[in-house]
């Protein structure tokens, strides 16, 4: 059967292969429904890509009806189906929203455990816990919001904040406030974010921060990632002995409809003359879920 399916795809008319796939719900003659991206070919058959990347060629006799599928924000441009991880890089966000009713639970390295949800199609909310602090007398939590929306073809804008909540003598909140722009489609995009690291209680500025991230999807289950942080310290100097500090990173994301594994290297500037740079591994896991009904 796989050989016959491959031959059928290869022998399909060239004009049919060039048809632009759209989000579809396909009702089969036995009553089953399939949701994905596809197109009806001139002979009446339907080529369909499912969310997990599987590609089907459905004979005309097996197709009872076609109708447009409800789309998730930012998912319509992908030929392999939606990328449930499009709202984030290794840590920093993109300006793609998750969409109302979508969410994830993630373990970012061994440091931060987070849970996020699309409260609305334009607003994502996140809470988390800094895992190592569970073994201290002062557990540290995190909370964040991000609002984002498309403003032009392949251009999304967003803004938000993320805070670390530290219960000392009084609750201290410190973190980032940022604005960002993402250019591209969910499969291939780059994001530039800028803002301030500050203590929210007092409004004291700690540093100006910028991030530059990118995602290049190679196939239905694989993407390359890069995330690069730049900071200008308002008080004191960074590890280089100057106010400027940078942390680059790059890696690969392996994912399916309901999971993602990020494997990357993060070179950390140590400030040690003998070992100025130490490449540290970054391993993160995420479980994606959705309450949306197609």
Domain end point (choices 68, 93, 113): 68
Q: Is residue 87 part of a domain?
A: no
Report the alpha-carbon angle 190-124-285, nearest 5. Answer: 70
> Are both 109 and 56 inside the same structural domain?
no
What is the reported pLDDT for 10?
38
Mean pLDDT comparison of 40-54, 76-90, 147-161, highest-scoring range: 147-161
Assess whether 64 and 199 both reside in one domain.
Answer: no
pLDDT band at 1 (very low <50, low <70, confident <90, very high): very low
* Total tally of structural domains belonging to the chain: 2
54 within a domain of the structure (yes/no) = yes
CB atoms within 10 A of CB 177: 15
DSSP sequence for 156-214 = EEEEEEEEEEEESSSEEEEEEEEEEEEEEETTEEEEEEEEEEEETTTTEEEEEEEEEEE
181: domain CATH number is: 2.40.160.40
What's the domain range around 127? 102-290
Q: Does one domain contain both 158 and 271?
A: yes
Same domain, 130 and 249: yes
pLDDT of res. 224? 98
Are the C-beta atoms of 180 and 157 separated by less than 8 Å?
yes
Comparison of pLDDT for 5 and 174, the residue scoring more = 174
Is residue 13 in some structural domain? yes
Q: Are residues 233 and 183 in the same domain?
A: yes
**159-218 confidence digits (pLDDT tens):** 999 999 988 777 888 888 999 999 999 899 999 999 999 888 888 898 999 999 999 999
**Domain containing residue 8: CATH number:** 2.30.30.100
| Assigned domain for 201 exists | yes
For residue range 209-265, list pLDDT tens digits in order.
Answer: 999 999 999 988 999 999 999 999 887 777 677 788 889 999 999 998 889 999 999
Residue 155 domain-assigned (yes or no): yes
286: in domain = yes
**Residue 173 sits in the same domain as residue 48:** no
C-alpha span between 247 and 282 (Å, rounded) = 13
Residue 266's pLDDT is what? 92
Domain end among 68, 89, 122? 68
Residues 237 and 115 in one domain: yes
Residues 47 and 138 reside in one and the same domain = no
Do 236 and 106 share a domain, yes or no? yes
Segment 80-139, tens digit of pLDDT:
777 889 999 999 999 999 988 999 999 999 899 999 999 999 999 999 999 888 888 889
Residue 64 has pLDDT above 70, yes or no: yes
Q: Which tokens sit at 26?
A: 């396909």
pLDDT at 32 over 90: no
How far apart (Å, rounded) are the C-alpha atoms in residues 124 and 100? 8
Is the pLDDT confidence value at 6 over 50? no
Query: Two tokens at 51?
Result: 């969310």
pLDDT at position 77 is: 54
Sheet holding 33-40, edge to edge: 55-58, 46-49, 33-40, 22-28, 63-68
């Amino acid at each position: 059967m796989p050989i016959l399916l491959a031959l059928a795809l290869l022998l399909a008319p060239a004009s049919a292969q060039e048809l632009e796939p759209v989000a579809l719900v396909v009702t089969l003659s036995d009553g089953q429904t399939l949701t994905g991206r596809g197109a009806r070919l001139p002979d009446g058959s339907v080529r369909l890509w499912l969310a997990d990347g599987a590609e089907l060629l459905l004979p005309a006799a097996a197709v009872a009806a076609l109708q447009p599928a409800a789309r998730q924000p930012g998912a319509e441009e992908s030929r392999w189906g939606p990328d449930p991880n499009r709202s984030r890089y290794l840590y920093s966000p993109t300006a793609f929203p998750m969409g109302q009713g979508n969410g994830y639970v993630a373990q970012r390295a061994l440091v931060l455990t987070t849970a996020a949800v699309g409260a609305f199609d334009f607003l994502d909310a996140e809470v988390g816990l800094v895992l190592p602090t569970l073994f201290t007398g002062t557990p540290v939590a995190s909370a964040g919001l991000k609002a984002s929306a498309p403003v032009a073809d392949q251009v999304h804008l967003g803004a938000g904040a993320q805070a670390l909540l530290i219960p000392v003598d009084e609750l201290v909140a410190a973190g980032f406030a940022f604005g960002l722009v993402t250019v591209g489609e969910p499969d291939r995009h780059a994001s530039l974010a800028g803002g301030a690291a500050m203590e929210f209680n007092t409004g004291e500025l700690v540093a100006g921060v910028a991030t530059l991230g990118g995602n290049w999807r190679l196939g239905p289950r694989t993407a390359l990632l890069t995330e690069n942080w730049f900071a200008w310290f308002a008080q004191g100097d960074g590890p280089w002995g100057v106010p400027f500090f940078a942390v680059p990173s790059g890696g690969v994301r392996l994912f399916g409809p309901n999971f993602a594994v990020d494997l990357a290297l993060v070179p950390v500037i140590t400030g040690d003359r003998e070992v100025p740079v130490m490449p540290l591994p970054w391993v993160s896991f995420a479980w994606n879920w959705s309450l949306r009904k197609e």
